[in-house]
């Protein structure tokens, strides 16, 4: 489903994200503090969904932000009637960086140091991840296998996939290096669990200094790339052959039509 780039609607999330529905929402472009939410529509939709599955519960709402807005706290307070601590998820529909394009928040009461000032609620970031049941993953995998773009060659698809994977790997390695630098400088505390996981990653890496292993990797990669390259060449040759055959059939059809046409000579004066 294509989502708009602005907060034109509010979508209520249910447990396990099984049910979503949009709510009519409008706000003043000049004054964001002026906004309208259709409560009657929300109550009607909520009651209908409860009839379908009474076990589902509202866990929060999400917006296409792509950042937090001024009136999000006011809207967030409306969902306290359904769940004590609702969750707000901001979705970036046009992500420019690799990773999960979502950020989750919940509201907490911020106590001011000065006793004369009133406390106010602020959003706090919540670590989140996108996961699915095994059955859902298998269904998505089979669906993606059937989705093919005939305009893109196999070679281009393979190269694009490898490039995306390398970019992701580069981003993760930079993140690990940044974390280790901060630990060495004393800006972050030492976390032994993270270091154990990093050590396991490095222990699983093969020893690339062995000549036989380097040769085996090179041979395997060259064999795979050769098969992909030959497949693309064969597809191109077949497509060109079909194009030539089509032109020859069209020529024969035109000649057959011309032979059926009887020319009538003009009468002599």
Q: How many CA atoms lie within 13 A of 215 on its CB side?
A: 3
pLDDT of residue 267: 47
pLDDT per residue as tens digits for the range 10-45:
444 444 444 566 777 777 777 767 777 777 887 888
Residue ranges per structural domain of the chain: 9-135, 149-257
DSSP 8-state symbol, 212: H
pLDDT of residue 159: 79
Secondary structure of residue 108 in the 3-state scheme? strand
Q: Do 42 and 69 touch, CB atoms closer than 8 A? A: no
Model confidence at 172: pLDDT above 80: yes
102-110/87-91 β-pairing: antiparallel
**99 phi, psi to nearest 5 deg:** 125, -175
Counting residues of the chain whose pLDDT is more than 70, the rounded percentage is: 79
* Exposure string over 146-169, b if 16+ CB within 10 A, otherwise e: eeeeeeeeebeebeeeeeeeeeee
pLDDT per residue as tens digits for the range 111-139:
766 666 677 788 888 887 777 777 777 77
Q: What is the DSSP string of 139-202?
A: HHHHHHHH---TTS-HHHHHHHHHHHHHHHHHHHHHHHHHHHHHHHTTSS---HHHHHHHHHHH
Q: Fold for domain 9-135?
A: Cytidine Deaminase; domain 2 (3.40.140)
What is the rounded distance in angstroms from the CA atom of residue 217 to the CA atom of residue 211?
A: 10
pLDDT band at 259 (very low <50, low <70, confident <90, very high): confident
Secondary structure of residue 136 in the 3-state scheme? helix
């Amino acid at each position: 489903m294509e989502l708009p780039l602005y907060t034109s609607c509010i979508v209520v999330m249910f447990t396990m994200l099984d049910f979503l529905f949009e709510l009519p929402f409008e706000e003043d472009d000049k004054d964001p503090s002026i906004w309208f939410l259709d409560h009657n529509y929300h109550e009607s939709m909520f009651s209908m969904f409860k009839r379908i599955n009474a076990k589902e519960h509202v866990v929060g709402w999400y917006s296409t932000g792509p950042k937090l807005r001024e009136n999000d706290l006011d809207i967030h307070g409306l969902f306290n009637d359904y769940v004590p601590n609702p969750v707000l998820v901001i979705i970036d529909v046009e992500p420019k960086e690799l990773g999960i394009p979502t950020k989750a928040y919940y509201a907490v009461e911020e106590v001011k140091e000065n006793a004369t000032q009133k406390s106010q609620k602020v959003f706090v970031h919540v670590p989140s991840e996108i996961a699915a049941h095994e059955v859902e993953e298998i269904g998505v995998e089979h669906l993606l296998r059937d989705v093919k773009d005939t305009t893109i060659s196999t070679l281009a698809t393979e190269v694009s996939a490898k490039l995306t994977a390398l970019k992701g790997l580069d981003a993760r390695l930079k993140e690990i290096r940044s974390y280790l630098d901060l630990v060495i400088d004393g800006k972050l505390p030492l976390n032994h669990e993270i270091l154990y996981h990093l050590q396991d990653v490095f222990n699983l890496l093969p020893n690339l200094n062995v000549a036989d292993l380097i040769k085996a990797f090179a041979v395997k990669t060259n064999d795979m790339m050769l098969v992909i390259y030959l497949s693309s060449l064969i597809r191109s040759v077949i497509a060109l052959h079909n194009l030539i055959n089509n032109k020859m059939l069209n020529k024969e059809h035109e000649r057959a039509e011309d032979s059926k046409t009887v020319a009538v000579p003009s009468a002599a004066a």
